[in-house]
Each structure stands twice: as structure tokens, then as C-alpha cells.
Structure 1
Amino acid sequence: MNPGFSARVVLSRAQRAGLVAALVLIAVWAVLRPMAVLQTVVAIVTVAYGAAIVFRVVLVWAAARGEHRIRVDDEEARAVPDHELPVYTVLVPAYREPAVIGQLMTHLGALEYPADKLEIILLLEEDDRETIDAASAVVSGGHVRILVVPESQPKTKPKACNVGLEQATGEFVTIYDAEDVPDPLQLRRAVVALRRLGPSYVCLQAELGYFNIDQNRITKWFALEYATWFRSLLPGLVALRMPIPLGGTSNHFRARELRELGAWDPYNVTEDADLGIRLARSGYRVGVLDSVTLEEANSDFINWIKQRSRWYKGYLMTWLVHLRSPRATVRQLGWRGILCLNLFVGGTPLAALLNAVLWATTVLWFLDRPPVMEEIFVPPFYYLGVICLVFGNATVIYLNVLSARTMDRPDLLGTALLSPGYWAMMSLAGAKAAWQLVFKPSYWEKTTHGLHLSSVAKEPADVG
């Protein structure tokens, strides 16, 4: 891939020089006029935070104006004769996942796609003997094979996917995670849709949902968030012709164009979001496919923080990487793409990080009303901050309520109203992401899967 797009070094030399110069100027200004610095910082943060909220509202509005998910019904998907289907490669990167390998093979075995046109490659790490042994015991059929990824750095999912892509023979390629339960017709739907849309569309992102929504409060929050993301925000980006930060699974590519683009950045820990931006910069389009892959919602607080901080860190990496050459980025993405890059890709983790600071400031104001805060919040930005506090938070809660409705899950209404608890978790993840971005940028924090299995085991047996 183009070295200029690699996150191997997060900040370029020019970015580092610019950051140091900016910090020096701010420090000098803070010594000379400390209140002016505080007022400026508060003004910038308030405007940016408000803009990010408005941007999301616009996306939801745009998604609601029309149908922006690509539909292929069951009859149309099955109507394509087997001999007219292309070879389809399914890459499944897995690391330390022996508990779910058996289920994985069952779920992949349910795919309605001819075996002689299907290539499933399990990408297993060389030092993960336990998962290799578990996979070797259940793999059957000539269309499924194990590819052991040689030990090397960085040890990341995108590095493994690149190894798999080198050996893939399919015209189309997709990625599934080890715990995924894909729609059995998803590959056929993707083939029909990509042929219908033409060569300008290089990728389709299927919807992701969860099969363990009701496990606990965290999984319910997670499910509402994903419903908002895949049913409102991503279709809104499609409607406004903006870049689509891809999800980590169930994205379906034309293999030739994916290779020409340089595939995945092995150093970016949200390689999917980065690839979505690079697709847009190259002039390709991405669609949202109306087909659902069920995943396991993270049910453990610590495990959730690990996963979410990695996602936030990757979004920050992607944002910084694509701001290395601002002129080129503006030329290739246009003003719509720049809005998405700053308010969606960069804005998502930054808003999560700032939430805790803004809430603490609000609590301090109501508890003590220190005079210095009246000086920091000059009137225009004070009122804008109040609008963000009241209407912004209410809007985000409303979006979760809307998601409960689109999911036909009225029982999740209470969970939607308790969303501020989930935001607190996001703030912790944002802080951890910022720390790791500085000290451990390419470290891939492993997410443990299969936690729902222990929950199921604890449920009483049905003896009725």
C-alpha cells in the first residue's frame, strides 16, 4: 500500500513539527494571557462538539429521506444459477478462539453458496496451537483450509488478512470473525448487488447485529448503538455521498480493486475504517447491503473497554493519517468527505474523550459556581454549551429510543433512557485510547469471544 497512508508512524515529520510549534505558541500565550487561552479552548471545544451532534442528526435525517440500503430479496439471490456465480473467498482471521471454532464451521456451513465456488480460509497465528488443533479437528471439505500466518510483527488482524488475500483465488472476498453468524444468503446477495451497481462500487458493508442482546445491560446498550450505526448513520453517509468507515466484518469487496488499493494497513488497529476512507479517496463507492451478520456483543466491562479503546485509537490513527496531506485529502474527498473525516472519524473518539470533562465542568458549575467559570464561558459559547447539554444529550437518547423502535424491541426503551451510563464507559475507553495512541499505537488489544457461552451454561435447563 501507499506508505503515505500507513499508520506505522502515526504522525508524519511535518505533523510532529506542527504539533510542537503549536504547543510552544499555546504555552507562551498561556503565560501572557491565560484567560484568553482558556476562553479560546472552551469556544473551540463547544463549537466542535455542537457540530458533531448536528452532523449526526443530519445523517439520521438523510437516511430517513429515502431507501439507502441495497436490497436483494431471497428469490433474486437464489435465482442466479450456480454456474454463473463467481468464486468467493471468505477470510476468517482468528486468534485464541478454540471455544468458538466448532460453531464457526456450523455457521459457515449454512452459507447457501456452491462449495466448488466457495473458498474459506481460516487465518490462524503460528503460536496459537490450541486454535489450530481445534480447527484441524472440525475442518472438512476441500473448500475450507487452514492457513497458518507466520510469526511476525505487527501481530494484527489486518496483517493476517493481507496474508490470506495473497492466496485468495476469489473474484469477490469478504471477512467474517470467528463468532459471526452470517445471513446464509449474504454472499449471493452481495454478488447480485455488486453486479447490479456496476464497477464504481467496490465494496458493500452488510449490517452487523448481535445474537446475545439480552445477556446484560452492556449488551443491550451495544445493540442499540449498532442499530443506530448501521440503520441510520451509515445509510446517512451513503445518502450524502460521504466516505463510509467500514465495520471489521461482513464487508464484501471486488478482490482485484482491493489488491490495487493495497488492501489493509497492518499497523492500523481499525483497518476497516481506514480502508473505507482510502476507497473514497480513490474515487470508489461503498454501499450498505440489507443483510445481517450476527455477532457476539461484548458482555464484560473490562473486555468492552479493551475493544472500544482499540476502535477509538484506530479512528484517531485514521484521522491523523489522512490529515498528513490536507490539500490532497481535500481534493480527493471534497468538502463532504472532509466533514465526515473530521466530525465522524475524528469526532467520534474525541467526543467520547471530552464527555467526561464537559460533564465534570457542568457538575462543578451547579455545585459551586466558581467565578472563574463565568469568565471562561463567554456568553455566546455558554448558551451554545447549554444547548449541547440539554438538546444534544436528549437527541442522542432519542436516537437510541428510535433504534429500539426500528429493532421492534420496546423492552429496550428503559435501556435507551439509561444511555448516559454507557457514555461514561465510552469516556473511559476514549481516555485509554488517547494514552495508547501515544505509547502503544499499533498494539492490538485482543477481544475475548465466547463469553456468552458461560452465560448460556448457567441458564437452567428446560425440563418442560
Structure 2
Amino acid sequence: MTAPTDEAEPPTDVHLTRSIHGLRELWPDQSAHIVLTRVQRTCLIVVTIALAAALLRWTIVTLQVVIAVITVLYAGAITFRLALTWAASRREHRVRVSDEDARAVPDHELPVYTVLVPAYHEPQVIGMLMEHLAELEYPVEKLDIQLLLEADDEETIAAARAVLPGPHVRIVTVPPAHPRTKPKACNYGLQLATGELVTIYDAEDRPDPLQLRRAAVAFDRLGPEYVCLQAELGYFNADQNRITRWFTLDYATWFRSLLPGLVALGMPIPLGGTSNHLRMRTLRELGAWDPYNVTEDADLGIRLARLGHRVGVLDSVTLEEANSDFINWVKQRSRWYKGYLVTWLIHMRTPRRSARQLTWRGLLCLNLFVAGTPLTALLNTVFWAMTALWFVARPPTVQLLFDTPFYYVGLVCLVFGNAVVIYLNVLAVHQMGRPDLLLTALLSPVYWAMASIAGAKAALQLVFNPSYWEKTTHGLHLPTARRPAEQAHAS
């Protein structure tokens, strides 16, 4: 599986070349330019042939073994999430910087901060973006804000030029070239960056006005071993509809329980797509982001861990727009799932080296969390269908497929596992102080069904189009944006 190319000839712009090929040249074994190496393809072919032969010769026994393995791994993934939540609850594992401490640092002592804002076909949110960036409490002479816009996106470029507030915000036009991804645009902007610290905001983001100051103070407190701080992400349109409420609970669990739990257990942190703050020097030494990976953030978190760098969770919130449209939500979630699978494949290319660099803790995270998240979403529908079939028709074949010990493991996954995940959502309701979201938490199985659809789509795209960045439409919370979207789905 190699990334498709639409280039007529290699790009000639030096910055563009570096933004596309920088990681491949520096760390070729960690680039997603080729998703499966020759060894991985060979292993996959051998396993597929062996499994097909076993199915032909010992059909029931082979299916029993496959289901037993899947059941054990599924149980492991659920148990792992419960362990992360427990670890996060033991004590505070987020880095806190008070408003007073954040404002106490004199302006001249603050580092220059680069803020990368990639946007594509989003003229409707550019005006609001400028308002939110203007609210950042950081001296403008220490700000290097780049709007990373595709050179052929004339509408967004025109909208940005009309509202630029000053020289600290500049438009950087990224020449069109494959892959057309957010990490490639960020890599391009990085070539021109002047900051000691760098972060990414999406065009619709509403960051905590003190977030840059908090991060700068936190880096100074924590010392050089900490090279990245991930801020919490939340949603400003949580109450728009049921999908946005589910999404809000999902993020609350992720950023308030799971990521702090990973910190508590000393495991790698799959970063979020925005509001991760990094030391510029380290980021450049790592080769920056992988332009061929559609979850470049999660991949970067694993690469940081492999080289021994530490990542913390910053107690500061950036509000984003929750997807309110089902089709748009599936596009976004399937991209995330696909990227997680690509990240797992990349970092399992050299299992011994990964084990040595990540230790057993990191390998658990890589397999049960990074790979486990999309795979459990994909497998949910399969197991639910088999369970429903058993209760409706009780076919003997289904009973044969579950050997007795693994039948009980599967039963525990079905009853206890699903209850645990619902409990995590109820816990998020409590942590957020939002009792009105309790019904949404109890209706979580419907949300999981949506995630299964996204998981199936991710698996297909992984095979046929691994580096394709499926664009998420933003601004759907705006009344003027909802009507065209509804008309498009109706047609």
C-alpha cells in the first residue's frame, strides 16, 4: 500500500520539498510515505494464506481461535481504558498555571511564539478566527502567527486579506502538491517560523486567551526534558444536537481521563490535532510532522516517546466546533481511525527497536490504545450482530464459535465492558458538571454504532487511499452554513 501521487513533476520550491520529504530523509523508517514495508507485506501475505488454508482444512477450530484471540484483545483494550481512568483519578496529572502566574512574567522575558493556523476552503470562519487570535494575551511583538492557506484557495485567501489585524499575522500560501494534508502545510510554515515555541490552532478554534503564557511558564517550570504540552480540547457548540453532545462527552473522557492516565503511567501520549505546544528545536530535530499521516499528531506523540522526550497535559482549554452533521462526523472520525492504524503499522515495522525505545508500557499503549481504538470500533458491530443473531435464532454455529472459556470472556466484554464505557461517559458528565448530558451518556451505544461505520470506512481507505485527507467542513454551527449543508444532503 503506497500513497498515490498526482504530481506531474517533483516540486521545485525548497520549502515545499522539505515539508514533503523532510521526515523521509531524516527518519525514513518512521515515514508513512509507504504504509507497509516489504517485510510487513510479506508477513501479511503469509498470514493470509495460512489463515485461508486453515479455514479450508479446520473451519470451526480456526474460527474459534480467531474469535478467542480477538475477544482477549478486546477485553485487554477495555481493561486498559479502565486502568487509565483509575490512574488519572489517583491524583492531578495536569500541569496547572494560575492566571496570576501566567500574567506575572514580564513581556520582554516571554519567548517568541509561532502559531500555525492551517485552513482550507474556510472563508466563512476567518473573521471569527481573527477575533479569537486577537484575544490571546501575549505581546504582539513576540507573536509569529501564520495563516497557512493553499495557493489555489483564492476565496479563503481573499477573506483572510480583508481582515488581517497587523504584521504579526501573515498569510503563507502553500504551493499545491501531493499530499494535500494539514501536516504538509504545517511543515511548510515551519520552514518560515521564528518562534522558540510553536503551537497549532484550527481555523474555528477558540483558545484560552492565556494559553500561550501558561505554556511558556509551564515549559520553564518543567525543564528541558519536557518538549510538548497538550492542552485540553472542548466544544463551544456542545448543545447543538445529539451528535455534538456525544462528541463533547467523547472529548471530555479523552482529555480528562485517558490522556492524564497515560501521563500517570508514563506512557506515550497520542497528541490532539490542535493546541499541542512544542519546543521548536526539538520539533525540527524530529523531522516535524509526517505529511503522509492523516493523524500526524498521534504519530508525533509516539515518535517523541521513542526518543525519550516527555509530554505533559496542560490545564488550559481550547474550544472547537463539534461536528453536528452525521456524514461530516463520519468523514472526520474515519480519518482519525485510519491515521491511528497507519501510526500503529509504522511503529511496528521494527518491533525490537520499538520495544527497546518505548519499553513494555509504550508497547501496551501502542497496541491497546492506538491500534485498539479503531479496531474495537470496527469490531463492535460484528460482535453485536452475532449476539443479536444468537438471541433471535440461536443457530448452533454461533455457539460452536465461542469455546467455553472465551464465551465467558466475551460475555464479560458485552455486559461489563459496555457498562464500563457508559460509566466513563457518566463520569465525564459529573466532571463537567453537566447533568443535562446524562441521557446522552446512557445513549452511548448509538454513538458506538456510528463509530463502527467510521471504522469500516477507515479500513477501506487504509487499503486504497491511506494518505487521503478527507476534508471536514467547519462552520456548520452557523445558521447560514447549515442550510446549504442540509440542501446538499437532501439532493
Which TM-score band applies after superposition, normalised by the shorter structure? Answer: over 0.9
CA distance in structure 1 between the aligned counterparts of 2:51 and 2:438, rounded to whole angstroms: 45
Pair 1:323-2:348 in alignment? yes
* Alignment-derived partner of residue 281 in structure 2: 256
* Alignment-derived partner of residue 247 in structure 1: 272
What amino acid does structure 1 have at the position aligned with 2:300?
A: L
* Alignment-derived partner of residue 434 in structure 1: 459
What amino acid does structure 1 have at the position aligned with 2:28?
A: P
Partner residue of 2:140 out of 115, 119, 144? 115
Pair 1:97-2:156 in alignment? no
SS of the equivalent of 2:121 reads coil
- The unaligned stretches of length 5 or more in structure 1 are 459-464
* Alignment-derived partner of residue 83 in structure 1: 108
SS of the equivalent of 1:213 reads coil
- 1:268-417 residue pairs with structure 2 within 5 A? 268-417=293-442
What TM-score do the two structures reach when normalised by structure 2? Answer: 0.93
1:140 CA displacement: 2.0
CA distance in structure 2 between the aligned counterparts of 1:128 and 1:79, rounded to whole angstroms: 41
CA distance in structure 1 between the aligned counterparts of 2:179 and 2:309, rounded to whole angstroms: 28
* Alignment-derived partner of residue 206 in structure 1: 231
1:374 CA displacement: 1.6
Pair 1:4-2:43 in alignment? no
- 1:9-20 residue pairs with structure 2 within 5 A? 9-20=34-45
Q: Quick check: 366-375 or 237-246, which moved more?
A: 366-375
Pair 1:68-2:68 in alignment? no
* Alignment-derived partner of residue 58 in structure 1: 83
Q: How many residues align?
A: 458
1:249 CA displacement: 0.2
- The unaligned stretches of length 5 or more in structure 2 are 1-22, 484-491
1:30 CA displacement: 1.2
CA distance in structure 1 between the aligned counterparts of 2:480 and 2:121, rounded to whole angstroms: 19
Tell me the alpha carbon deviations over residues 370-424 of structure 1, each in whole angstroms, 9 at most, x when there is no partner: 1112211111000011100001001100110110111100000000000000000
Q: Quick check: 448-457 or 208-217, which moved more?
A: 448-457
What amino acid does structure 1 have at the position aligned with 2:435?
A: P
What amino acid does structure 2 have at the position aligned with 1:159?
A: K
CA distance in structure 2 between the aligned counterparts of 1:10 and 1:245, rounded to whole angstroms: 19
* Alignment-derived partner of residue 182 in structure 1: 207
* Alignment-derived partner of residue 47 in structure 1: 72
1:356 CA displacement: 0.3
Partner residue of 2:59 out of 25, 28, 34? 34
Tell me the alpha carbon deviations over residues 123-169 of structure 1, each in whole angstroms, 9 at most, x when there is no partner: 00011000000000000211010000011110100000000011000
CA distance in structure 1 between the aligned counterparts of 2:186 and 2:389, rounded to whole angstroms: 48
1:438 CA displacement: 0.2
CA distance in structure 1 between the aligned counterparts of 2:52 and 2:441, rounded to whole angstroms: 42
What TM-score do the two structures reach when normalised by structure 1? Answer: 0.98
What amino acid does structure 1 have at the position aligned with 2:134?
A: G
* Alignment-derived partner of residue 237 in structure 1: 262
Instruction: Tell me, yes or no, if the aligned pair for 1:269 and 1:310 is still in contact at 8 Å.
Output: yes
CA distance in structure 1 between the aligned counterparts of 2:342 and 2:482, rounded to whole angstroms: 39
* Alignment-derived partner of residue 3 in structure 2: none
CA distance in structure 2 between the aligned counterparts of 1:163 and 1:454, rounded to whole angstroms: 34
Instruction: Tell me, yes or no, if the aligned pair for 1:221 and 1:419 is still in contact at 8 Å.
Output: yes
Tell me the alpha carbon deviations over residues 260-298 of structure 1, each in whole angstroms, 9 at most, x when there is no partner: 000000000000000000000010010000000000000
1:66 CA displacement: 0.6
* Alignment-derived partner of residue 461 in structure 1: none
1:456 CA displacement: 9.3
Tell me the alpha carbon deviations over residues 159-182 of structure 1, each in whole angstroms, 9 at most, x when there is no partner: 000000110000000000000000
Segments ≥4 residues shifted beyond 6 Å:
455-458
CA distance in structure 2 between the aligned counterparts of 1:457 and 1:350, rounded to whole angstroms: 32
CA distance in structure 1 between the aligned counterparts of 2:227 and 2:143, rounded to whole angstroms: 20
Tell me the alpha carbon deviations over residues 226-264 of structure 1, each in whole angstroms, 9 at most, x when there is no partner: 000000000000000000000000000000000000000
CA distance in structure 2 between the aligned counterparts of 1:46 and 1:350, rounded to whole angstroms: 12
CA distance in structure 1 between the aligned counterparts of 2:202 and 2:337, rounded to whole angstroms: 19
Instruction: Tell me, yes or no, if the aligned pair for 1:215 and 1:455 is still in contact at 8 Å.
Output: no
1:445 CA displacement: 0.1
CA distance in structure 1 between the aligned counterparts of 2:400 and 2:378, rounded to whole angstroms: 24
SS of the equivalent of 2:239 reads helix
1:457 CA displacement: 8.6
CA distance in structure 1 between the aligned counterparts of 2:200 and 2:222, rounded to whole angstroms: 21
Percent identity among equivalent residues? 72
